[in-house]
Amino acid sequence: MDSLISADFWQLTVNGLVRGSFYAALGAGLALVLGVTHRFHFAYALTYTFAPYAAFLAMDRQGIPFWPAALVGLAGAVVLSVLIELLVYRPVAARAGDRAMLAVLVTSIGVSTAGIAALQLIAGSTGLPFYGPTMTIHEWGPVQLSNFELYEVLTCVGLVVAIAAFLAFTPLGRQVKAVRSNPGLAGLLGIGVTRVSVTVFAIAGLVSGACALWYGLLYTVEPVMGDKVVIYGFVVAFLAGTRTSPLRALPVGLGVGLLEQWSSMWVSVQWTQTAVFTVLVVYLVVLSGRGRWRRSVVPRPAPRARLKKA
Amino acid sequence: MKVQPRTRRTRRYAALAAALALTLSVAACGDDEPKVSAADTQAQADDLVSLLKIKDGTDLGGDLTWKMGAALTLSGPSAVNGESMQNAIDLAVDQVKAAGGPTIEVDTKDIKGPDPVASKQAAEELAAAGAPAKITSMGDGLGAMLENTDKDKILSLDGVGGAQVFTQGVQYFYGTREVAPSDAMPGALEWLKQSDPDAKTVGLVGVDLGPFNDPIKADITSKIAAAGLEFNGLWETVAPTSQDYASVISKIKDNQPDMLIVAFGGAAPGAFVAQAKAAGLDSQLMGIEFTDEAVKASKGVLDTEGFHFAMDYFDAEHPSNALADLFVNSYEKAYGEKPDFYAANAYEEVLMFWDLIRRVIADGGDPDDSSALKAALDANPVFASVYGGDSSGPGTLEIDPKTHGVASRNMGVYEYKGGSVSTLATFNIGAADFQMQ
Amino acid sequence: MWINYLVQALLLASLALSVNLLVGYAGQVSVAHAAFAGIGGYTVGYLTTARDWPFVATLVAAAVIAALVGVVIGLIALGLAEEFLILMTLAFSLAVIGIFATFDALGGVMGITNISGLSILGLSLETPRDWLAPAAVTLVLVFAVCWRIGESPYGRVLKGIREDTEATRSLGKNTFAYKIAIFAITAGMAGWVGALYSGWLGLATPTAFGFQLAMAVFAMVIVGGSANLVGSVVAAIALTMIEPVLRQVVGLQSSEAALWQLVIYGGLLVLMMIVRPQGLFAERFRHVAPPTGERVQVLGERTAPVVRDLDAHPVVLKAEGLGKRFGGIVAAKDLGLELRRGTITALVGPNGAGKTTAFNLLTGAVVPDSGSVLLDGEELVGRRPDEIVRAGLVRTYQDVRLLSRLSCLENVMLAVPDQHGEHLGRLFVPGRAVSRADHAVAEQAMEWLGFVGMADHAGVPADALSYGQSKLVSLSRALATRAPVLLLDEPASGVDSTWVETMLTMVDAVRAEGRTVCLVEHNLDVVRELADHTYFMELGEITASGTIAELTSSARLTEAYFGAQ
């Protein structure tokens, strides 16, 4: 076993935990959108990319200092996310009726493509020199961690916990949960579905923006930065479950992060992503086998809401 | 949903119409012609004619209209390269015309990134348009266009990728710059030995080139051995899409060489160096390409920590010859910024084509016949260059008729720090004419 | 230049058609088609460059390999919920393309870029013009196959799977086999198209078959209209041509123009979905001519309730010792009941007593832990739900579960057993056998609709019916299976009083036909009117049986029944 675990095991583990918490937060945000509104929100990549771009433009064109500019970016992502829901997804979904899911999926691809091209028209198609505060490195034995990574982990874990607490303890959060479990019934109980979906998209915008700002500080802010992220977000969201507690995204995200980093001990670094997806397929195959077994023993869950006819 | 008020529907179609109007209005945008007065262009053209030492009475091809393709990355992550090249091509085309040369009709195609499908489409379209020659990039769209380049006999000059291993054997393809990192490697290793006599080991991190990794690795390791240094076994390749190098850096830290070759292009070296410095990597890093994008991606680290690189760098701050001087001045006048090496190479290539056209005309051939152009190139593969040379005239660029790469190219080891580039050593292919500065 | 784009459009249209058959008709939202095309493309790339196979042979190999992988994906898909299917196919696509990129023999990340000198049957494929014919032929063939499958009885089952897989199964269709077959067929077609695509491009690279292609084709299917093949072709051609047309209109080639093109492409996609979210072309409904001739009046006057002498009727179905536990909860315990031919048996009991579970156990929707169910002496436990239906035991659902985007007639037609056109092979036999057989099926279905008095509604989509009407259609759907034993789950609940009377007459008429009925019913008046025998269930157990009058006279049972209400 010794030969299988290389000397950088601990560093890779820490890297995996850092990335894992990042994936967890992104997954939790997307899971909330999927669970509550059933929207395949590929434009998550756009709100993600938008935050550091807006922050950079605020710094570069308006001369705003870094942290206020970062807040501008964050607010921008939230507003953009809500606007996408109100101005694009809602009208499409309302008109598409029971085919809303696929119609929204295609719409979100369109929004994302157009939006990211528009960002490039405004800010140029190269990466942006997005930096400000100084990075400091902490060392513990064989392991190194920058202050940004530490803050990123705190932000991500904090966001996941905050979403969970919001759903559990606030009246609005409970309304979100009610819509998630039965939108028809929630509507009858007088819960404003619009208010709930706006809330959910605001949260998703916030999560994507916060993650992207930290990612941008650590790595590169460029137009394609959201591509991989949105796929990982979907992976974590589905594996953790879109109708369960956001806290479940934490172990799933950490698992994905660790898998990605650890696999670099055995395969070349460039194949780690392939390794993650291969393991994911294998996992789903197992799940499929078990699912069939379970399906044959568990009765169909609650029948689809048929309130309009009853 | 069932009853559709007429007004709402009308409004929807109005939106559609607005989108179409937007499409049309875009036609007015995107126009990036050089902003130079006719008089300036004429003055530049006169200088050009005298610099190129064209004999009086030579037929310059003035009554010719000549079609030239340009396969550039105008969108995607490498859009900046394509844009610089396009600028330089427009500039050169105007100058050639004003100098009494042919009217060059440029047929520009976007190969996006390069995206294989777009590259293939571009190749087919240029063939259909009947262009005898093209300025191309990225190893002809990372290999996707090469098949067509030969099949359709389009004489192609690549000043971005050079004649990489996978382009070899393609008859109509030529690389007009060094093959990175192979050509610059002996000089870079020589610099290492002279600047740090204690240095022993060398390793590499770079982008993955699939089946070409092995020949490249064999070539580089043999050059390391030939220089009397030791390859420490570190050969890490990564996919070009990600700029998160954490896991590769922790692998490097396990096996740090004295000098680490950073074989990335575009913005990636900046991102890598920033992360490597943060992680406390203390190898001497040696890049193979330097661009402004890398500076941006480094979040200031390249400015504070410095960045060494070995390549055929185009130093726009200190043009090395009179042609380079003319090019830098006219480019800056036209676009308000100094040209990068992509622009410099594209400019050179337009002049190369003009040279070939003159030669073909002088021999009584047809400049629209690509085989005549290729024959003229093979007969005497020496051209004016914006690299090397001195203030009395242009430098020279020599193509190797066997490899279709460059036989001679002025290169060097440079250091970027605090916003400016300084030259540490200069050399040619195979570390010939090596000189510490 | 335009010819080359036309070739691309034709190939993408073919790919979109295969995706539409899978997504639009069968409702299997999979994004793996780009990977299947990639499998085809790499097969051609490898076999023609490294193995010198003739192009035609590699095309066949590409389709076969892709179809085999399709079978595997289909098998995995069976056990996954819809959202996991999307995730699985997404991960599968990325993994497959990623794995291709690890093999040096396949060109690694650069891919295979030297596919050339191909020919089909002696015709060399050099210029874009040469590719026009193979691409057009492929489009026609793929269209023909998709049309033949999609608009046939086979396609009707696929649509049933899309609308409600379990309900379709409970009409006797082997939905597993259909799902696997449709994955294999569409994957095979995608493999073929991908092979041609690679041949035309001269390359097979990871990026050529990446996420971008998957999403572009998906957009074509949805913009064109799901389950409408013409729409897919139109949308594929339109969306492929946007770029070159914009380039002509925008004119200049510059990086700014390239970005504007993307903005406009994305914007048009959004606008399109806002203006016509159902796609350019709507799904086709079977055209139904109004019933000719006088209405079939099967129903006579309902006589006053007569309780039959049970011993005169042989036992058709006998369940014994059925038990089922979910975790710690006992859903059924030592359940036993007998249904006698030509009688109506009722199952009553308080909410949560396990009445629907009993139906699930009998019909195989839930496999019992123990016990046996004999239908005419034949063991049903351990058989698939669709086999059980074909053996002669059919059920309806409390929540009706009509296939809402199919017409009433199609709903009932779906239930007709042993249809000629449900066999893939027969669909491609020349001649009119399939359509003739389907007309016969339509006539049968019409009769059953007539039986419940819904013939005038034959062409109406099921989701446009009132609740009472939909219960009637669901009854006629069960009758159309010709199963002698019917399990009716609350046929009269949630229906207003005028419909209750109709429903009673109908069930009575079913009995008069000589069929055996077991019904779960809350409304004790209904039970009183209809039932010859009644079982009383509490907490997963049958605790009493007899006539309803006997049961309601017991104070304990009344307390148990009404106390829990």
pLDDT digits over B171-193, tens only?
999 999 999 889 999 999 999 99
Model confidence band, residue A308 (pLDDT cutoffs 50, 70, 90): very low
Facing C249 at nearest CB: one of B27, B79, B128: B27
Per the structure, the count of domains in chain C is 2
B79 interaction partners in chain C (CB closer than 8 Å): 255, 258
Cα–Cα distance, A55 to A74 (Å, whole number): 8
Contacts of C115 in chain B (CB under 8 A): 147
Is residue C41 a part of any domain in this protein? yes
Q: What is the per-residue pLDDT across B260-312, written as a single tens digit (0 to 9) for each?
A: 999 998 889 999 999 999 888 999 999 999 998 899 889 889 999 999 999 99
Q: Is C350 left (phi over 0), alpha (psi -120 to 50) or beta?
A: beta
In this complex, is the C-beta atom of B32 within 8 Å of any C-beta atom belonging to chain A?
Answer: no
Among the ranges given (B160-169, B343-352, C54-63, C144-153), the one the predictor scored with the smallest mean pLDDT: B160-169
| Mean of per-residue pLDDT scores for chain A | 87
C102 chain-A contacts, CB cut-off 8 A: 271, 274
Which CATH number is B60's domain given? Answer: 3.40.50.2300
> What is the extent of the structural domain holding C457?
310-563
Amino acid at residue number B232? N
B200, burial (CB in 10 Å: exposed 0-12, middle 13-18, buried 19+): middle
CB of C337 closer than 8 Å to CB of C367: no
User: How does strand C485-489 pair with strand C516-520?
Assistant: parallel
Angle, alpha carbons A247-A253-A256 (nearest 5°): 155
- Residue B279 tokens read as 């992680």
Q: How many residues does chain C have?
A: 565
DSSP 8-state code for residue C152: S
Helix ranges restricted to H, C228-289: 229-250, 255-275
Q: Identify which has the larger pLDDT, C131 or B8.
A: C131
Q: Name all chains with 3 or more CB-CB pairs below 8 Å to chain A.
A: B, C
Residue C294: pLDDT band with limits 50, 70, 90: very low
The pLDDT of residue B19 is above 80: no
Tokens 């390249």 -> residue? B302
Q: Which residues of B touch C126 (CB under 8 A)?
A: 151
DSSP state of A85: I
pLDDT at B80: 87
**Which comes out higher in pLDDT, residue B121 or A33?**
A33
Cβ of A102 within 8 Å of Cβ of C467? The answer is no
Nearest to A267 by CA among A280, A251, A278: A278
* Domain total in chain B: 2
Residue from the list B238, B250, B295 with its beta carbon closest to the beta carbon of A15: B250
CA dist., res. B331 & res. B378, Å (int): 30
**Which B residues 270-299 touch A at CB under 8 Å?**
271, 275, 278-280, 293, 295-299
* CA A68 to the chain's CA centroid: 23
Q: What is the mean pLDDT of residues C383-394?
A: 94
Q: Do B297 and B337 lie in a common domain?
A: no
CA distance B264 to chain A (A): 14
pLDDT over 50 (residue A297):
no
C101 interface with A at CB cutoff 8 Å:
yes
| Size of the A and B interface in Cβ pairs below 8 Å | 94
pLDDT at A303 over 50: no
CA distance C324 to C357: 9
Residue A162: what pLDDT? 97
Q: Using the predicted structure, report yes or no on whether residue C445 has a pLDDT greater than 50.
A: yes
Task: Flag whether C258 is in a domain.
Answer: no
Task: Indicate the pLDDT class of residue C523, thresholds 50, 70 and 90.
Answer: confident
Question: Residue A4 has what pLDDT?
Answer: 59
- Chain segment B151-166, per-residue pLDDT in tens: 999 999 999 989 988 8
CA of A228: which chain B residue's CA is closest?
B242
Query: Does residue B29 lie within any of the structural domains?
Result: no
Contact B299 A130 (CB under 8 A): yes
Report which DSSP code applies to A300: P
pLDDT the model gives residue A7: 65
Q: Is residue B399 part of a domain?
A: yes
Q: Categorize the per-residue pLDDT at A280 as very low, low, confident or very high, splitting at 50, 70 and 90.
A: confident
pLDDT band at B104 (very low <50, low <70, confident <90, very high): very high
Tell me the pLDDT tens digit for each residue of C334-380.
Answer: 999 999 999 999 999 888 888 999 999 999 999 999 999 999 999 99
Are residue B230 and residue B361 in the same domain, yes or no? no
Q: What is the ipTM of this complex?
A: 0.86
pLDDT for residue B242: 74
Give the count of alpha carbons within 13 A of A214, CB side only: 23
C102 token code pair: 């690890």
CB contact under 8 A, C113 and B115: no
Asked whether the beta carbons of residue C259 and residue A274 sit closer than 8 angstroms, the reply is: no
Same domain, B72 and B129: yes
% pLDDT > 70, chain C: 95
Per-residue pLDDT at A24 exceeds 80: yes
pLDDT band at B1; cut points 50, 70, 90: very low
Residue C265 CA to residue A118 CA, distance in Å, equals 12
Of B239, B250, B293, the CB nearest to A126: B293
C-alpha closest to that of C546 among C527, C560, C532: C532
Tell me whether strands A143-146 and C315-326 are parallel, antiparallel or unpaired: unpaired
The letter for the amino acid at A259 is L
Q: What is the pTM of this model?
A: 0.90
| Contacts with A66 from chain B: Cβ below 8 Å | none
Q: Which residues of chain A lie closer than 8 angstroms to B79, CB-CB?
A: 120, 125-126
- Roughly what angle, to the nearest 10 degrees, separates helices A100-123 and A44-62? 20
| Contact between chains at B280 and A129 (C-beta distance less than 8 A) | no
Asked if the Cβ–Cβ distance from C104 to B239 is below 8 Å, we say no
Domain, as residue range, for B254: 185-311+411-436
Q: What is the arithmetic mean of pLDDT over C437-456?
A: 91
pLDDT at C517 over 50: yes
Confirm whether B344 is domain-assigned.
Answer: yes
Please judge whether A110 and C273 are an interchain contact, meaning their C-beta atoms are less than 8 angstroms apart: yes
Q: What pLDDT sits at residue A306?
A: 33
Instruction: State pLDDT tens for residues B128-154.
Output: 889 999 999 988 888 889 988 999 999
Helix (H, G, I), strand (E, B) or coil at C214: helix
In a domain, B32, yes or no: no
Is residue B3 a part of any domain in this protein?
A: no
Q: Looking at residue A177, what is its pLDDT?
A: 92
pLDDT at B342: 95
Closest residue in C to B80 (Cα) is: C255
Summary mean pLDDT of chain B:
89
Give the per-residue SS3 of chain B: CCCCCHHHHHHHHHHHHHHHHHHHHHCCCCCCCCCCCHHHHHHHHHHHHHHCCCCCCCCCCCCCEEEEEEEECCCCCCHHHHHHHHHHHHHHHHHHHHCCCCEEEEEEEECCCCCHHHHHHHHHHHHHHCCCEEEECHHHHHCCCHHHHHHCCCEEEECCCCCCHHHCCCCCEEECCCCCCCCCHHHHHHHHHHHCCCCCEEEEEEECCHHHHHHHHHHHHHHHHHCCCEEEEEEEEECCCCCCCHHHHHHHHHCCCCEEEEECCCCHHHHHHHHHHHCCCCCEEEECCCCHHHHHHCCCHHHHHCEEEEECCCCCCCCCCHHHHHHHHHHHHHHCCCCCHHHHHHHHHHHHHHHHHHHHHHCCCCCCCHHHHHHHHHHCCEEEECCCCCCCCCEEEEECCCCCCEEECCEEEEEEECCEEEEEEEECHHHCCCEEC
User: Would an 8 Å CB–CB cutoff place A12 in contact with chain B?
Assistant: yes
Per-residue pLDDT at C285 exceeds 80: no
The whole-chain average pLDDT of chain C stands at: 89
Is C234 a domain residue? no
**Peptide bond just before B114 cis, omega within 30 deg:** yes
Distance CA B297, CA B273 (A): 9
CB contact under 8 A, B16 and C257: no
SS3 content of chain C, % helix, strand, coil (to 5): 60, 15, 30
A129–B279 CB contact, under 8 Å = no
Q: Examine the pLDDT at B215 and tell me if it is beyond 70.
A: yes
Q: Is A13 on the interface with B (CB under 8 A)?
A: no
pLDDT band for position C148 (cuts 50, 70, 90): very high
Report if residue C370 sits inside a domain: yes
Residue numbers in A near B76 (CB within 8 A)? 125
pLDDT at residue number B284: 95
Q: What is the mean pLDDT of residues A184-197?
A: 84
| Domain A2-266 class, CATH top level | mainly alpha
Strand duo A137-140 + A143-146: pairing: antiparallel
User: Do the Cβ atoms of A92 and C277 come within 8 Å?
Assistant: yes
Has residue B2 got a pLDDT over 80? no
Contact A261 B243 (CB under 8 A): no
- Which residues on neighbouring strands pair with residue B417, listed in sequence order? B420
C417 touches chain B (CB under 8 A): no
CA–CA separation, C463 vs C449, rounded Å? 16
Which residues pair with residue B307 across a beta bridge? B416
Give the residue among A40, A44, A76 at the shortest CA–CA distance from A57. Answer: A76
Contact B146 C114 (CB under 8 A): yes
| High-pLDDT (> 90) share of chain C, % | 55
Contacts of B112 in chain C (CB under 8 A): 258
**Which subunits have 3 or more CB–CB pairs within 8 Å of chain C?**
A, B
Q: Give a yes or no: residue B189 inside a domain.
A: yes
Euclidean distance between CA atoms A310 and C559, whole angstroms:
28
Rounded to an integer, what distance in angstroms lies between the CA atom of residue C468 and that of residue C446?
19
Confirm whether B356 is domain-assigned.
yes
pLDDT at B305: 92
Contact indicator for B257, B202 with CB cutoff of 8 Å? yes
